[in-house]
Amino acid sequence: MLPIIDKNRQKEYALLSLLDSEDRYFSCQELAKNLTISERTVHKYLQSLTVQLENFSADELSIERSTALGIRLHRAPWLNIHTIYAQFAQQSLTYDFFHSIFLETADTSTAFCLAHFVSSASLYRSLSPMRQTLSAFSLSLDAADMQLVGEEMQVRYFYNNFYLQIYRGYEWPFPAISRQLVMNAIDDITSALDSPMNVNDRKHFSYWLAVIAHRLSLRHCLTTPLPAALGLNNEAYHTSLPAIRRFFQRLHLPVLEPECQFIFYLLHAFPFGMNVQQRLFAAARDERGFDCLPLTATDHFLAVFARYFPQWMGMGSPSFRLKLHRLHFHGALLRGSSDLLERYPFLKTYTLNYPCFAQSMAKLFASLAPHPCGRCFTDERYLLPHYILLCSQYFDLTSCEPIIHLALLTDYGPIYEEKIKKEITSHFRDDFHLKFVSTNQPHDILITNLPARIHTSGHLTLSIHTAFNQREWSLLGQLLRQAQMAQQAKAD
């Protein structure tokens, strides 16, 4: 996520998120340990949060503090605590600074500091985390002159992310732009393409159009047509062009060809609906065929993909290819940070859970760039997490890992043993590649309920009592991870 919230408020929101993670009482010691802060600081943050929640009724959102039971967050099922994040973000110095740059309401940081009663040193300390983030968008910050330095498309991409992260499309931070006119323009464009959008996609697209319109109103415009290799000059573009032009005309903005192309391009590069993109990608293919850079990038990706994951070729649905098209249209023109790591914790642990898949994916990505469409593959920070998520959606990642052979030696009888096998497979199928074999075949782990000690150097052994209890499930998970690491070490 973009580091918009001030440091102390980040901790407060982390505390609120932790309390929201489970509907139970937390001890102060537990909260302090999880957040790596002192218990005294926990109480300080709780007091501040209590003040922040005063606008909510007790039935909506409240923090209960009990000496005997601990600390508990009460939240109505319909309420999302992101509303607190948005509140914190709007109160932050970082938000005020970048919002001022966007609106161009301050010429210099000195004027901004005077208006906000802060010193230049305090301001620069607050902005420090954002400087590194801006580099992911190929931008830099000229704080003194209140400017973002970089390509205009990247400035727009940053601000789209900036406002979406805070408001999620449900508030309108663009005072000079009519939201109704923007929504009417979206209806006009999607009607021309005969491809309606859902509510969330409309809100996302509306932020893009508002950012474009505001930047144009301040004379920050695109002057060069988009590259012909993107394949935008086709029947879908000419069909939607009158609607796009009307958008600019209704807002009394100049109708420039690069700006019209850019709006049309955005429909290719972001998830604004599969039905929209099916039409767009088909039109691009019909017009330029294999000369269309992003579509060629997908063909190249799938050819390389087949070398590293031959077992999956032919298994992905047509939507797998369509989603790759979208990623490659994005990569051909835009550079930007992705917040997938925050939204999907799986991405932080997949290298541990699926080491063979992770190695193959890293090699695959390294093999993509030496190609005429290599510009589509340069934004690793954005593309690689999306590739990994796509694979996890369409394929069984455990199939890439070495098979762990399990054997049962019990006196349960064949019917109950089959039940145990199904339970084990169901419990661990998302984490390990498992296969059951008989005890006279080579195996990695032996599972038994017999009281005699059965332990040899040839395999790991787990003794269970009757059915699996929580301790035994945990022990089996540890043994499976141990067997996986041993096999990985042999392969290396």
CATH code where residue 55 lies: 1.10.10.10
In a domain, 120, yes or no: yes
Same domain, 262 and 190: yes
In a domain, 163, yes or no: no
Same domain, 335 and 392: yes
Same domain, 266 and 198: yes
- Give buried/exposed letters for 281-314 (b at 16+ CB in 10 A, else e): bebbeebbeeebbbbbbbebbeebbeebbeebee
Question: Mean pLDDT score of the chain, rounded to an integer?
Answer: 90
Residue 289's pLDDT is: 63
d(CA 321, CA 300): 12
d(CA 40, CA 43): 5
Nearest 5°: phi and psi at 335?
A: -130, 130
The answer to whether residues 336 and 137 touch, using CB atoms and an 8 Å cutoff, is yes
In a domain, 422, yes or no: yes
In a domain, 266, yes or no: yes
**Residue 317: CB partners within 8 Å, gap ≥ 6?**
394
Torsion-angle region of 30 (φ positive above 0: left; ψ -120 to 50: alpha; else: beta): alpha
Closest by CA to 244, choosing from 224, 275, 265, is 265
The answer to whether residues 20 and 75 touch, using CB atoms and an 8 Å cutoff, is yes
Same domain, 58 and 112: no
Instruction: List the CATH number of the domain containing 451.
Output: 3.40.50
The answer to whether residues 333 and 153 touch, using CB atoms and an 8 Å cutoff, is yes
d(CA 246, CA 253): 10
Same domain, 188 and 273: yes
Burial group, residue 483, by CB count within 10 angstroms (0-12, 13-18, 19+): buried
In three state form, how does the secondary structure of 11-77 look? HHHHHHHHHHCCCCCECHHHHHHHHCCCHHHHHHHHHHHHHHHHHCCCCCEEEEEECCCEEEEEECC
Closest by CA to 272, choosing from 218, 345, 201, 351, is 201
Same domain, 113 and 50: no
- Of 56, 79, 102, the last residue of a domain is 79
The answer to whether residues 204 and 164 touch, using CB atoms and an 8 Å cutoff, is yes
The answer to whether residues 93 and 116 touch, using CB atoms and an 8 Å cutoff, is yes
Residue 101's pLDDT is: 95
In a domain, 220, yes or no: yes
Closest by CA to 134, choosing from 256, 4, 227, 21, is 4
Q: What is the Cα 20 distance to its own chain's centre?
A: 21
Same domain, 392 and 418: no
- Residue that has been written with the tokens 């998302």 in this structure: 430
Angle value at C-alpha 440, between 438 and 446, nearest 5 degrees: 65
Same domain, 391 and 407: no
Same domain, 183 and 279: yes
- Of 251, 283, 315, the last residue of a domain is 283
Same domain, 330 and 370: yes
Alpha helices in 354-405 (DSSP H): 355-368, 380-394
Residue 191's pLDDT is: 94
Same domain, 201 and 263: yes
Residue 491's pLDDT is: 67
In a domain, 321, yes or no: yes
Same domain, 187 and 267: yes
d(CA 127, CA 140): 12
- H or E segment and range at residue 460: strand 460-463
In a domain, 86, yes or no: no
- Mark the ranges of the chain whose per-residue pLDDT is less than 70: 288-290, 455-457, 491-492
The answer to whether residues 447 and 476 touch, using CB atoms and an 8 Å cutoff, is yes
Can you tell me whether residue 213 is helix, strand or coil? helix
In a domain, 164, yes or no: no
- Could you tell me the residue range of the domain that residue 19 belongs to? 7-79
Amino acid, res. 128: S
Number of domains the chain is built from: 5
d(CA 346, CA 22): 19
- Of 283, 310, 326, the last residue of a domain is 283
